[in-house]
Structure 1
Amino acid sequence: LYPYKSSMIGLESLADPSGDWDIVETIGKGTYGKVYRVNNRKNGSQAAVKVLDPINDVDEEIEAEYNILRSLSNHPNVVKFYGMFYKSDDLSGGQLWLVLELCNGGSVTELIKGLLMRGQRLLEPVIAYILYGALLGLQHLHNNRIIHRDVKGNNILLTTEGGVKLVDFGVSAQLTSARLRRNTSVGTPFWMAPEVIACEQQYDSTYDARCDVWSLGITAIELADGDPPLSEMHPVKALFKIPRNPSPTLRNPEEWCRSFSHFIAQCLIKDFETRPSVTHLLEHPFIKQAHGKDMALSQQLSTLIHEQQELGCKLKTKHERINTRKTLIIESSPDDDLVNLEVLDEETIIKHLSKRYDELQIYTYVGDILIALNPFQNLSIYSPQFSKLYHGAKRADNPPHIFATADAAYQGMVTFCKDQCIIISGESGAGKTESAHLIVQHLTFLGKANNRTLREKILQVNPLVEAFGNACTAINDNSSRFGKYLEMKFTPTGAVMGAKISEYLLEKSRVIKQATGEKNFHIFYYIYAGLYHQEKLKNYRLPDKKPPRYIENQHGKVMQDITSSELYKEQFNAIQDCFRIIGFTDQVNSVYRILCAILNTGNIEFTAITSQHQTDKSEVPNAEALGNTAALLCIGPEELQEALTSHCVVTRGETIIRTNTVDKATDVRDAMSKALYGRLFSWIVNRINALLHVAESGMNVGILDIFGFENFKRNSFEQLCINIANEQIQFYFNQHIFALEQMEYQREGVDASLVEYEDNRPILDMFLQKPMGLLSLLDEESRFPQATDQTLVDKFEDNLRYKYFWRPKRVELCFGIQHYAGKVLYSVNGFLEKNRDTLPADVVVVLRTSENKLLQQLFSSPLTKTGNTHTKSNNVLDSCVDTMEMMRHPEETTNMRRQTVASYFRYSLMDLLSKMVVGQPHFVRCIKPNDDRQALRFCKERVTAQLRYTGILETVNIRRQGYSHRVLFEEFVNRYYYLAFRAHQMPNTSKENAVAILERAKLENWVLGKTKVFLKYYHVEQLNLLLREVIARVVVLQAYTKGWLGARRYRREKEKRQHGAVVIQSGSHPPWPHPDSMTTWFQCSQKSQAP
């Protein structure tokens, strides 16, 4: 959560420190501010001040630290607190001063490191004395229901007299009598207790004050060995290891007494329920050796401190605190960008990425393109604190991050008033959906709307549509089974005001059948488990002893697997919250009824019967399943059975009813299930768009999250469509990064080295061209009633004379494609039927008779060219379905007019590209480090293959050598003239003035073309930052000017009123005219008006 403003402390109530304190020198740098030595002007005493800046208000975290210091610093083992002050500064922001006792002895970490450098170490009695003081301080805190949560050597300070003081309560927690536990993951990684780390990933995890005991045990090891365990690792990797590894011990336990090792073992019991409290540890034999020896041991400690100060030993550590609100900040480095590597070859890049991944640096730049390696674990780098860190920051100031890409798109939109587009690509399971989540999260943070409800609605959109559109596959537990383009709408000033989703090619066939090891769409498991726990299965006519066939399938998924899943139950509750927050009200019950009707439809069975005319006929033996489906759909069971087991044929004006075979009836049943789900999904998307619609125009940031490239053991029609879509995205990437850029160089006469790349246009032509492309051939064959899968694959072989197509000799109904990402073998079994996707008109007619208004709407609305349901009304349930729509011929609301899935797919690609091309693109390349979804495992071969087919190596070359931004002279001067000219000058948009701006900005390595300025990827960021600084100064100047003018007007008005009051009080007003003169004036005026 974001920190809330304090309701107890106002900055205006705090005194200015300037009258009492003078800064002498800097003595340290904490996680969130610097620490200075200060002198008191009045009595000459010294203190330490922790300065937080810039600050505009006191948030709850600062208030909590202030309250702890104010009420609990009266203990000899807690640092004394002298007060909080506020130093105002309108230009750079104010400073908050926390003035504390000066501990000249430094931290125990500095002491032990200095000793180890000199070949010495602390004696055990001195260690016991330090731990004794820390335990007393912690006992004082715990008795007052405070958990420190950041106990470590750097937070135990020493006075020159040998006193031991606990400091830094910035993340301490106040417990209440009713709640003696916490669940926020916070602390410094190497010292964090396992139960605290668990709270980051397990929302039901909690901990109590004994987490400080664990941290003290790690500190005890630090006092002996000089470093905490695992300190050689990256901090985030240590967080992964601590809960999994055995409890740490001393590096060389044989060099220390058993009592010391036992004390550490007691502190580091992993089950905190059995871990002793600080009160119990004060009685431990190792600690008791310090009892009553305070004077002697403090004198020994004081001697060590003075010796160290005389030798000038002062060491600093770099261990930063981590917090789910204030998270670990990792320093940026030149290695963050592959363009900066001295050697540019495949092996060097792989080694570089592997090293970064091992350090949990999952993001790497290639110029302005982001590579994201899936960590397969939760990382604590996505908190609001990180959003603040990347808000408007220079790219070089922070390490690569998905927030940096989102921020670049946002700043580009606001600065240039131009739509932006973020394209996320990669294989299935590479982390595209999670990346899209994080981008939406950061954009929502950046575009803070005044309406908090709107922000909450937008954040609920992705979880809702993914519950209906995502599923578990063999390689990804949360695989997108549809294409999604989310457009976030912003005002010209950058405030988010709405959103719109476009959905493409939902994999409806998953509703009725899933491959081995895969599952149906998430929502079916969520609703079944949720209704089970709410004891509402009977209300929706679902069986409570065996799961429906569509979610049981051939995998033998038993009832207990679904109903006992806490995840399914929690997700059902989350989906209910999504519906409520976004604004679905009465419609939710209708949605549930349709979903449960689909599950019941899958349980309808058919048996063959022989009629008197010896024709094949089918009937439904299990009337209960039929009745359940009909009841949930609010239609008659007889009408439903007739629509499933027979169909009408009109010949020469005569209607003939023909019966369906068992296979035909089964196909009709499954087609109805697919149509119900597909149209319901489209309606949900349309409803979201209506609830988040904004009438006013603005700017967009689009986020593309589309199904990733797939290559399974068995690939069918769905994989073909998915992989064609990925071919199109790769072509779009190639065009923007390579082709268009190099064409512009040649047109503008710019000398730049051309980079060779793999152009996949010929493959797309093979798929999409008419009339001899693969999809056109598929549509042609789908129109022939006698066509079979064999005739289809033969037609492909006869007409597709491309090197990218081949036909395996030993496999009959298969063909192969050499995609940009590798070879894929496709089985054509079911291609024709899936492409036709026919829904009989008889079924449509029956569903239109439903008393459920939502169901009426779904099957009375026409389908768009992309195959989605079209909704004219923003509120489809508040008004009856239009009579004309009800009278519309069934074929107009289905795809029976020979609109095929392939044709819908073709239009979907056109629609998607039309949205993408209007915006400035930003690319995120997601990479899957291994196929086993294991954290910290980097498979060189898999990563190398992905880097090759995505063209990363070529991208590195062109980003190093090329100019990714080309701006017309006119546009460039109009955009940046503030940097070199005064606002009133309005310079000519000439080439010379463009040069003047570039030189004034002190940029290098730019090039001028015939009509454009050619800039490196980093130039635009530098120019934008300079422009923002200029505008900020103008805003400040305007504010000062307005304030000065207002004050002057006020003074003049005040002087005028004072003068008037003096005149009135003195009685010295001008004399009134004489009565005679008034009479004369009146008579004259009358004469002048006479006719």
Structure 2
Amino acid sequence: MAEQESLEFGKADFVLMDTVTMSEFMANLRLRFEKGRIYTFIGEVVVSMNPYKNLNIYGRDMIEQYKGRELYERPPHLFAIADAAYKAMKRRSKDTCIVISGESGAGKTEASKYIMQYIAAITNPGQRAEVERLLAICVHLNGMVSARSIFRESQNHSGPWVSVLGVIGMGLLSLEVSSKLYDSVSVVSPQSRVIVQQPGERSFHSFYQLLQGGSDQMLRSLHLQKDAAAYNYICPGAQLKCSINDGAEFKAVADAMKVIGFKQEEIQTVYKIVAAILHLGNLKFSVDGDTAVIENGKVVSIIAELLCTKAELVEKALLFRTVATGRDVIDKQHTEQEATYGRDAFAKAIYERLFCWIVTHINSVIEVKNYDTTVHGKNTVIGVLDIYGFEIFDNNSFEQFCINYCNEKLQQLFIQLVLKQEQEEYQREGIPWKHIDYFNNQVIVDLVEQQHKGIIAILDDACMNVGKVTDEMFLEALNNKLGKHAHFSSRKLCATDKTLEFDRDFRIKHYAGDVIYSVTGFIDKNKDTLFQDFKRLMYNSSNPVLKTMWPEGKLSITEVTKRPLTAAALFKNSMIALVDNLASKEPYYVRCIKPNDKKSPQLFEEERCRHQVEYLGLLENVRVRRAGFAYRQTYGKFLHRYKMISEFTWPNHDLPSDQEAVRKLIECHGFQHDVAYGKTKIFIRTPRTLFTLEELHAKMLVRIVLFLQKV
């Protein structure tokens, strides 16, 4: 139980609710938010409400209050969960992870920042330089992977990337940012944002930062002007009102790169690549017969200059595709549509390679060198996973499909691991385990990822077919193979459902609610083919940084290569790898909730919050966590708190063991039918018993104080 806050603030742990109902959960959530308590436990899970204001609860004094304390000893806080993960890692030499989830605008990125600050601070307070580098890394990556969404002004769109704090035996601190998952998901949601955005959204901050923050001399050298509306890829977001100061953010990112250890020429290469993407978007194609020609050749020369290659080679890669047929090599000229597709695929790929290079470079710079396990002990890590939340838009496409599949996988893992932790504790303590009813979303995960039968398999089959395959044909295949699935529907399968369009929409009944997806673009987005010509072009760049980003470009034209995996297959594989990775660690969770859409520090929108509680599965989490017992504590710590309420245990007991003393205390108050005795812990079934114990404790504390004052 968290440190006893007054009940005027509500219950600090949802597990202690009298009845597990949505109405009681929401009432407690609202009360705590309105009283300024933004954190609440569900056992070892922290529910975090975005306060939409600065709170003075993250300073050094607060860090000291949580450092080394048990989870229940202090009020709910991100620092409590961070310290618990750190102690588990140090005490048991076990890798741990903190999974932060919630929708856009719920405060995930801030939560991950505070958690990393805390871990960095308690690991080795003297390593201030490493802490500065850690925070600089967060700033730099945020500029590269965040964009203004319709929900908030800085949403992470990189997909799930993992920041790993390596906390090693002697208190050394290192940090690794894992790009493995990003390598796979980069072709899905994030890079589509390079070339197109939904209404009300901006592209990645890095583009606007360069235009607004770069000096006049720098912009001239990059052939850029400050007006974002001049660039086709980002002009839709140029007119949006945004409170972000792009000029100031540009300086922050530039300073961060220097702190991290980037060389000046490497920083210049980053700017050149970002500029080249902007110019690519302004390339115009027209038709000459059946083939494409470039209208504005000057832009080609600018792109070639920025990418350190020749203009004629850039033009050839844009207009032709080199095809090997046996020993013969031919140049197949593109149509206007093919040239446009190739240009956009190239722009997305350049940005993806840039991000992955930055991640790899950061890791090489900050890696702890010459680490000796015989001296420092086992190298254990805390993984901090900031995962994008469930998405339901007016128009949901391939990107939302992948994101929501990711959330299904993580929800499944979450429930499984919480159940597993409960079962393991019961087994350790010798307490009988009883079956718990909960919704198992395995059926939805299978709908998406099952071999040969799932949506991804059906989509890949469609993409592998020879000949013209349309999105409508893909939807027809879904109808034929999934028509009887309880969590799948379409207009053809349900002709009276006018919320679905014929030959366009299908619906998945997700654990978080129903989502209608439009198949438009599914085939092209899943293929997302980047022609080998562009890879060779970049590999032969005279810029060594660019060259290292495209190693496969060294393959000869006639060299046979395997067909690349589709975007969905890559994403599926990365999700399976992520789940396996997380399952091997001891998990801790932060569930973030957005109280309103107006960014008001006072407003609690009931339905808005209820929806998030439902799709985060929080009520399910409470049911599983209680598992018959709302509270458990070791005998020694239980006695330390409550021994003054029994004559048999105050001030000390003479019974054979602490367990016997606790048993005597419980029996003298008549609670014996509401508890179970484990090997090292007492388990209390209902919150009412615990609250009664707390009331007795509070009353006795007053009496003791009065007695001491008289003495």
- 2:406 paired with 1:725: yes
**1:35-50 matched pairs, under 5 angstroms:** none
1:681–1:548 Cα change, 3 Å: farther
What is the CA distance between 1:765 and its match in structure 2? Answer: 0.9
SS of residue matched to 2:588: strand
CA distance in 2: counterparts of 1:590 and 1:555, whole angstroms: 25
> Which residue in the other structure is 2:303 paired with?
629
> Which residue in the other structure is 1:735 paired with?
416
CA distance in 2: counterparts of 1:404 and 1:892, whole angstroms: 54
> Which residue in the other structure is 1:298 paired with?
none
> Which residue in the other structure is 2:132 paired with?
456
SS of residue matched to 2:339: helix
1:534–1:553 Cα change, 3 Å: closer
- 2:348 paired with 1:666: no
**1:269-280 matched pairs, under 5 angstroms:** none
The one of 488, 492, 497 equivalent to 2:174 is 497
What is the CA distance between 1:744 and its match in structure 2? Answer: 8.0
Equivalent residues of 2:322, 2:557 under 8 A apart = no
> Which residue in the other structure is 1:765 paired with?
446
Equivalent residues of 1:471, 1:478 under 8 A apart = yes
> Which residue in the other structure is 1:681 paired with?
355
1:333–1:922 Cα change, 3 Å: farther
- 2:262 paired with 1:584: yes
Equivalent residues of 2:408, 2:511 under 8 A apart = yes
- 2:486 paired with 1:807: no
**1:57-456 matched pairs, under 5 angstroms:** 332-333=5-6, 335-448=11-124, 450-456=126-132
Equivalent residues of 1:425, 1:925 under 8 A apart = yes
> Which residue in the other structure is 1:902 paired with?
568
CA distance in 1: counterparts of 2:407 and 2:364, whole angstroms: 29
CA-to-partner distance for each residue in 1:370-399, whole Å, 9 max, x for gaps?
111112222222222221222123444432
CA distance in 2: counterparts of 1:486 and 1:891, whole angstroms: 37
CA distance in 1: counterparts of 2:244 and 2:463, whole angstroms: 45
What is the CA distance between 1:724 and its match in structure 2? Answer: 0.5
CA-to-partner distance for each residue in 1:271-291, whole Å, 9 max, x for gaps?
xxxxxxxxxxxxxxxxxxxxx
1:703–1:529 Cα change, 3 Å: same
- 2:503 paired with 1:822: no
CA-to-partner distance for each residue in 1:1015-1059, whole Å, 9 max, x for gaps?
789xxxxxxxxxxxxxxxxxxxxxxxxxxxxxxxxxxxxxxxxxx
In structure 2, give the amino acid aligned to 1:679: R
SS of residue matched to 1:536: helix
State the superposition RMSD in angstroms: 3.2
CA distance in 2: counterparts of 1:796 and 1:746, whole angstroms: 44
CA distance in 1: counterparts of 2:406 and 2:397, whole angstroms: 15
1:393–1:652 Cα change, 3 Å: closer
CA distance in 2: counterparts of 1:419 and 1:333, whole angstroms: 35
CA distance in 2: counterparts of 1:587 and 1:891, whole angstroms: 32
In structure 2, give the amino acid aligned to 1:856: K
SS of residue matched to 1:336: coil
> Which residue in the other structure is 1:476 paired with?
152
Equivalent residues of 1:449, 1:496 under 8 A apart = no
CA-to-partner distance for each residue in 1:404-428, whole Å, 9 max, x for gaps?
1111111222222222111111222
Equivalent residues of 2:166, 2:174 under 8 A apart = yes
**What is the TM-score with the length of structure 2 in the denominator?**
0.82
What is the CA distance between 1:815 and its match in structure 2? Answer: 0.8
1:477–1:554 Cα change, 3 Å: closer
Equivalent residues of 2:211, 2:228 under 8 A apart = no
CA-to-partner distance for each residue in 1:316-342, whole Å, 9 max, x for gaps?
xxxxxxxxxxxxxx9834621122333
> Which residue in the other structure is 1:487 paired with?
164
- 2:538 paired with 1:886: no
> Which residue in the other structure is 1:519 paired with?
202
SS of residue matched to 1:907: helix
1:746–1:446 Cα change, 3 Å: closer
CA distance in 1: counterparts of 2:47 and 2:522, whole angstroms: 35
CA distance in 2: counterparts of 1:732 and 1:1016, whole angstroms: 27
Overall identity of the aligned pairs, in %:
33
> Which residue in the other structure is 1:651 paired with?
325
What is the CA distance between 1:577 and its match in structure 2? Answer: 1.2
SS of residue matched to 2:340: helix
Equivalent residues of 1:742, 1:754 under 8 A apart = no
In structure 2, give the amino acid aligned to 1:524: F
SS of residue matched to 2:218: coil
CA-to-partner distance for each residue in 1:669-728, whole Å, 9 max, x for gaps?
001101100111111111111122235341111111111110000011111110000001
Equivalent residues of 1:537, 1:543 under 8 A apart = yes
The one of 523, 529, 539 equivalent to 1:832 is 523
The one of 395, 412, 429 equivalent to 1:714 is 395
Unaligned segments of structure 2, at least 5 residues: 372-377, 641-655, 667-674, 686-711
Select the structure of larger CA radius of gyration: 1
CA distance in 1: counterparts of 2:216 and 2:417, whole angstroms: 52
- 2:316 paired with 1:638: no
SS of residue matched to 1:537: helix
The one of 582, 591, 601 equivalent to 2:280 is 601
In structure 1, give the amino acid aligned to 2:273: I
> Which residue in the other structure is 1:853 paired with?
544
CA-to-partner distance for each residue in 1:202-230, whole Å, 9 max, x for gaps?
xxxxxxxxxxxxxxxxxxxxxxxxxxxxx
The one of 488, 496, 510 equivalent to 2:193 is 510
What is the CA distance between 1:556 and its match in structure 2? Answer: 5.9
1:452–1:940 Cα change, 3 Å: same
What is the CA distance between 1:998 and its match in structure 2? Answer: 5.8
In structure 1, give the amino acid aligned to 2:166: K
1:698–1:1014 Cα change, 3 Å: farther
Equivalent residues of 1:548, 1:599 under 8 A apart = no
SS of residue matched to 1:514: coil
Equivalent residues of 1:332, 1:396 under 8 A apart = no
SS of residue matched to 1:799: helix
SS of residue matched to 1:624: helix
What is the CA distance between 1:799 and its match in structure 2? Answer: 1.0
CA distance in 2: counterparts of 1:933 and 1:550, whole angstroms: 31
CA distance in 1: counterparts of 2:385 and 2:361, whole angstroms: 20
What is the CA distance between 1:514 and its match in structure 2? Answer: 0.6
Equivalent residues of 2:396, 2:517 under 8 A apart = yes
> Which residue in the other structure is 2:143 paired with?
467
Equivalent residues of 1:449, 1:495 under 8 A apart = no
CA distance in 1: counterparts of 2:87 and 2:169, whole angstroms: 12
> Which residue in the other structure is 1:536 paired with?
218
- 2:466 paired with 1:796: no
In structure 1, give the amino acid aligned to 2:565: Q
What is the CA distance between 1:742 and its match in structure 2? Answer: 4.9
1:1016–1:658 Cα change, 3 Å: farther
Equivalent residues of 1:525, 1:551 under 8 A apart = no
CA-to-partner distance for each residue in 1:27-73, whole Å, 9 max, x for gaps?
xxxxxxxxxxxxxxxxxxxxxxxxxxxxxxxxxxxxxxxxxxxxxxx
Greater RCO (Cα-Cα under 8 Å, separation 6 or more): 2
In structure 2, give the amino acid aligned to 1:540: L
> Which residue in the other structure is 1:940 paired with?
606
What is the CA distance between 1:449 and its match in structure 2? Answer: 5.3
CA distance in 2: counterparts of 1:1006 and 1:410, whole angstroms: 30
CA distance in 2: counterparts of 1:535 and 1:1016, whole angstroms: 70
In structure 1, give the amino acid aligned to 2:204: F
Equivalent residues of 2:46, 2:590 under 8 A apart = yes
CA-to-partner distance for each residue in 1:263-310, whole Å, 9 max, x for gaps?
xxxxxxxxxxxxxxxxxxxxxxxxxxxxxxxxxxxxxxxxxxxxxxxx
> Which residue in the other structure is 1:5 paired with?
none
The one of 291, 295, 302 equivalent to 1:617 is 291
The one of 221, 235, 250 equivalent to 1:553 is 235
What is the CA distance between 1:501 and its match in structure 2? Answer: 2.7
Equivalent residues of 2:229, 2:235 under 8 A apart = no
**What is the TM-score with the length of structure 1 in the denominator?**
0.54
In structure 2, give the amino acid aligned to 1:886: K
1:664–1:450 Cα change, 3 Å: same
SS of residue matched to 1:914: helix
